Amino acid sequence: MEKKTVNISESELKELYLNEKLSTREIAKKLGVGQTTVRRKMKKYNIPARTEEESRQTESFKKRRKELAERYKKEYTKVYKKECECCGKPFIVYGADQKNKKFCSKECESQSRRKLERTNDGLLRNTFVCQGCGRTFDNPSLHRINRTYCDKCLSIHKSESQYNRIKVKCGWCGKPIYVTPSRYRSNKINYCSISCMSKDYRRRFSGENSPTWTGGKKHYTGSWQRQRNKARKRDLFKCRVCGTTEIELGKELSVHHIRKYKLFTDKKKANSIHNLVCLYPDCHTFVHSKKNKTKLYINNSNKPLEVILRYSLFAIKNIATFIKLRLELCWEYLAELSRSLLSHLKDVLFH
């Protein structure tokens, strides 16, 4: 299907828009094209668009406003004379949205809802017989379909159920308390306060009894503190991801195991300095999260750590990051070598 081309000359467009002061919608309707086409041609011919104040002064805008005003008068200012279906009083409503109104006030509307059809025995449909006193009563609420007590007997029945409580002991402190029969049936253990309940819960659901128990926290062995301090000194007390120092943080940085500690049988190899890296607490959280898609500083393989490139470089897809980490490793090796040489020279000179 061939694309339809529209030829609108610059003189014709200027005559319609500037001299006759037609809107872009009227021009598009007159030429049989879209409004977007007219605006695109105006931009092509550098014809400036009217401002909001200028567009309000055009004849097309005034005509449109007049049509809307007449439409509003016809639809929203029309008067409807109605008669209330409840009290029979005449009333007036304005507008098409109010023409279906049936009642003159909210009182008449609520009163009409209570007028229900009568049953064969002559009682109202929402009228019941009280089981407490035996008299009939009208239920003003339509939500309660089956009521067994009137308002007076209902209050007495509630008070009796409140007073007929069962004496039990608090599950934590042993203090005697009184609970309702429903509460006694539903709860195996009752408490006198929330604090007693929280204390008992901490005792009952702590440790292995907790549903979230995973074996408990095990402290690292294999000269962990010594290796941890070595890793901090090697990294110059800086985070390997963001570069934050311990002075800026105000406390010691986290030391992360690249390969998980529990995957090692020999814990000294797990705490090897090549398997440790210093991280800022937020960076440490990021490394263990699902957002770490490149598996930065993560190596959970069963292969020996010496076979795999340090710091899990196999998982880093960015070549620039790979080169940067390799350079950091070289500088660390040179720094450690220079420190060892200096210490050796001091020993030779001063001993």
Predicted local distance difference test score (pLDDT) of residue 119: 43
Predicted confidence (pLDDT) at residue 264 exceeds the cutoff of 60: yes
Q: Which amino acid is at 110?
A: S
Per residue in 314-332, pLDDT (tens digit) is: 344 445 565 666 667 667 7
Predicted local distance difference test score (pLDDT) of residue 96: 63
Per residue in 180-215, pLDDT (tens digit) is: 888 888 888 999 999 999 999 988 888 888 777 767
Residues 6+ apart with CB under 8 A from 187: 179
Cα(111)–Cα(202) distance, rounded to whole angstroms? 56
Cα(305)–Cα(311) distance, rounded to whole angstroms? 10
Give the number of other CB atoms < 10 A from CB of residue 296: 21
Predicted local distance difference test score (pLDDT) of residue 343: 75
In whole angstroms, how far apart are CA 304 and each of 14, 222, 261, 299, 318?
A: 80, 18, 13, 10, 24
State which H helix or E strand residue 198 sits in: helix 194-204
- Are 137 and 150 in contact by the 8 Å Cβ rule? The answer is yes
Residues 6+ apart with CB under 8 A from 183: 190
Tokens of 327: 């350079």
Predicted local distance difference test score (pLDDT) of residue 265: 85
Q: Which residue has the higher pLDDT, 135 or 125?
A: 135
Predicted local distance difference test score (pLDDT) of residue 302: 56
Q: Which of 310, 249, 247, 259 lies closest to 280 in space, CA to CA?
A: 249
Predicted confidence (pLDDT) at residue 111 exceeds the cutoff of 90: no
Q: Coil, strand, or helix at residue 41? A: helix
Tokens of 128: 């019941």
Per residue in 6-29, pLDDT (tens digit) is: 788 888 888 888 888 888 888 888
Cα(189)–Cα(183) distance, rounded to whole angstroms? 10
Tell me the pTM.
0.32
Tokens of 350: 């001063």
Cα(272)–Cα(118) distance, rounded to whole angstroms? 90
Q: Calculate helix-pair angle for 24-31, 35-44, nearest 10 degrees.
A: 110
Strands (E), 96-234: 127-129, 136-138, 166-169, 176-179
Q: Which amino acid is at 214?
A: T
pLDDT bucket at 305, cuts 50 / 70 / 90? very low
| Torsion angle of the four alpha carbons 143, 147, 150, 155, in this order, in degrees rounded to the nearest 10 | -90
